[in-house]
Amino acid sequence: MITRHHCVSARSFRPLWMLEELGLPYELRMLPFPPREHQRAYLEVNALGTVPALFDGDRRMTESAAICQYLATRHSPRALNVEADEADFGAYLNYLHFGEATLTFPLLLLLRYARFEPPHRRVPQVVDDYSKWFLARLRTLEPLLSQQPFLCAGRFTAADVSVGYALFVAQQLDLAPRFTPAVAAYWQRLRHREGFVHALQSQDQAARRQGVSPRSATEPVS
Ligand SMILES: N[C@@H](CCC(=O)N[C@@H](CS)C(=O)NCC(=O)O)C(=O)O
C-alpha cells in the first residue's frame, strides 16, 4: 500500500492526481499547511518539512515530479509513462521537469509575496514581475498545444500531470484569464478529467475526516 503525506492542493497534489488516474489504492495522511509550523512531528517523516512524502513499502520519495515518474514507470508503461524507445521520450522527461522546475517556481514567489507573508511584507512589484515571468514561460506551450491535445506522445501522460498542477496553482492565483487560447483549452481538458476531479474530492474528504482544514494551501493566510 502506498502512503502519502499531503496538504490540500500543495505540490503533493501531483502524486494524488497520478494515483487517481492509475486507480491505485493509497492511504492519505493529511497535514495542516505548512507542516513545519503546525505539525512539527512531520519533520521526523521529512526533515525538509515539505510535502509530498510518499512511502511505497520502505521506499521514500519527496519530489513531486520524480514521484509522478516513479508511479508512471512502475504502474503505467506506454500509457501515463513514455518509454525510452518511444520518439517522445526526451520531450516527456523535459515537460515532466518543466512543470516543476520552470513553471511552478515563479508561482511560489507569487504565493509568498501576495498571500503568505503578513500584509506589511507583501511586495506587489514581485507579484507583478513574476506573474509576467510565469506567463511568458507558459506562452512557449501555445504553438505545441495549438497542434495537439497533450504535451507529448499523442496521449495524456505524467508530464501533463506535472504541468497541469502548475496551471491549477496559476488558476488559484487568478492568472487563468491571462492564459493564451490553446493553453486555456488544454487546462479545461485537464481539469475535467475524472482523475483530477476525484483527486480534489479525495483530499477534501480526507481532510474533513482527519480534522484538517480543507482550505487550499494556496489560499491567503488571514
Ligand atoms: N520540489 C518539491 C517542492 C516541495 C515543496 O516545497 N512543497 C511545498 C508545498 S507546495 C511545501 O511543503 N512547503 C512547506 C514548507 O516549505 O515549509 C516538489 O516538487 O515536491
C-beta 50 within 6 A of ligand 1: yes
- Print pLDDT tens along the chain (222 aa): 899 999 999 999 999 999 999 999 999 999 999 999 999 999 999 999 999 999 999 999 999 999 999 999 999 999 999 999 999 999 999 999 999 999 999 999 999 999 999 999 999 999 999 999 999 999 999 999 999 999 999 999 999 999 999 999 999 999 999 999 999 999 999 999 999 999 999 999 999 999 999 999 887 665
Strand order in the sheet with 26-30: 26-30, 2-6, 53-56, 59-61
Give the closest residue (by CA) to ligand 1 atom 15. Answer: 50
Please count the helices (runs of H) and the strands (runs of E) in the chain: 10, 4
34 within ligand 1 shell (Cβ under 6 A):
yes
- The residue nearest atom 9 of ligand 1, judged by CA position, is 10
pTM recorded for the entire structure:
0.97
Strand partners, 152: 155
Helices (H), 98-154: 105-111, 124-139, 142-147
Out of 50, 162, 168, 218, mutate this one to test ligand 1's pocket (max ligand atoms within 8 Å of CB): namely 50
Atom of ligand 1 minimally distant from the CA of 11 = 10
Atom of ligand 1 lying closest to residue 36 CA? 17
Give just the sign of the alpha carbon dihedral 75, 80, 81, 82.
positive
Query: Strands 53-56, 26-30: parallel, antiparallel or unpaired by DSSP?
Result: unpaired
Instruction: Estimate to the nearest angstrom the gap between the alpha carbon of 184 and the chain centroid.
Output: 17
66 lines ligand 1 (CB under 6 A): no
Long-range contacts of the stretch 114-121 (C-beta < 8 A, 24+): 114/173, 114/220, 115/218, 115/219, 115/220, 115/221, 116/220, 116/221, 118/221
In the chain, DSSP assigns E strands to 2-6, 26-30, 53-56, 59-61
Whose C-alpha lies nearest to ligand 1, atom 11? Answer: 50
Q: How far is the CA of 154 from the centre of ligand 1 (A)?
A: 30
